[in-house]
Amino acid sequence: NAQSIDSLFRQNTMPVNVDHDWRLSGYFSFGTPLRFIKSRINLTVNSTYNRGILFVNARENGVDRWNNSFDVSLENRKKEVIDAQIGARWSFNSAHYSEDDGLDQNFFDQTYYADLTLNIGESWSFGSSLDYTQYRGQAFSGTAAVPLWQAQVSKLLWNDRLQLKVTAFDLLNQNQGISRTSQLNYLEERRYNTLGRYVMLSLGYSLSGFGKDSGNHGIQITTRRR
């Protein structure tokens, strides 16, 4: 891209062809049981490096971009009755310019999460999940924190072929509708309207039943209610 800023501080961006633009990505995942607490720990690392060219006011800039994330979680191993997981995820994004370090960009976000599913008897199931995300970066207006809590209850009927589920979303009514991403020549913050707290009723039917070995065949009918 070619980017220019005029005397009125209006920014213009125009796509241009460059000699090269290359990307390198890496992924690592590891999991192992922790027998002394009857659980399992999982580690995941993602990293992407991008080298590109950006013209700023007709001056060529080499741009180095890094997108990195690290995730660690702990879960129980025997899941017949209780399926529980807690974890944390950190993401760091940066962009550095060879000719104008005043355009350098950095931002960071972190998410802490917990998931719990409780199976009672042969037909009842209760579940809940909580995510707490913080967005940080000097290019943005302060730190944004978004807690999201969801809960659901489901019941199997008619020889386990019919599933009735009630799910409550955004129980804390704190969803701010925010997302932040790093592009080649700018950081982007999107804000969008959200439903807020609401409840969804869903009804699913499986031809082979909802058991562990039932497969993925079936018909699902879903209705939504605010």
pLDDT band for position 225 (cuts 50, 70, 90) = very low
Q: Mean of the pLDDT values across residues 113-129?
A: 95
pLDDT at residue number 217:
46
User: Judging by DSSP bridges, how do beta strands 39-56 and 2-5 pair with one another?
Assistant: parallel
Task: Note the pLDDT tens digit of each residue in 138-164.
Answer: 666 667 889 999 999 999 998 888 999
Q: Model confidence over 96-118: pLDDT tens digits?
A: 888 877 778 888 899 999 999 99
What stretches of the chain show up as alpha helix (H) in DSSP?
Answer: none
Question: How many C-beta atoms lie closer than 10 Å to residue 73's C-beta?
Answer: 18
Distance CA 181, CA 188 (A): 5
Name the β-bridge partners of 33. 40
Contact 149, 133 (CB under 8 A): no
- Residue 171's nearest CA partner among 127, 111, 123, 222 is 127
Q: What token pair was written down for 146?
A: 């978004």
- Length of the chain equals 226
Q: Where are the domains of the chain?
A: 2-225
pLDDT > 90 in the chain, percent: 50
pLDDT tens digits for range 42-78: 999 999 999 988 877 777 888 899 999 999 999 999 9
- Supply the pTM of this predicted model: 0.79
Phi, psi values for residue 196, rounded to 5° = 75, -155
Among the residue ranges 26-35, 88-97, 184-193, 196-205, the one predicted with the least confidence is 184-193
When pLDDT is cut at 50, 70 and 90, the band that residue 216 belongs to is: very low
Question: Which tens digits make up the pLDDT trace of 11-41?
Answer: 677 777 778 789 999 999 999 999 999 999 9
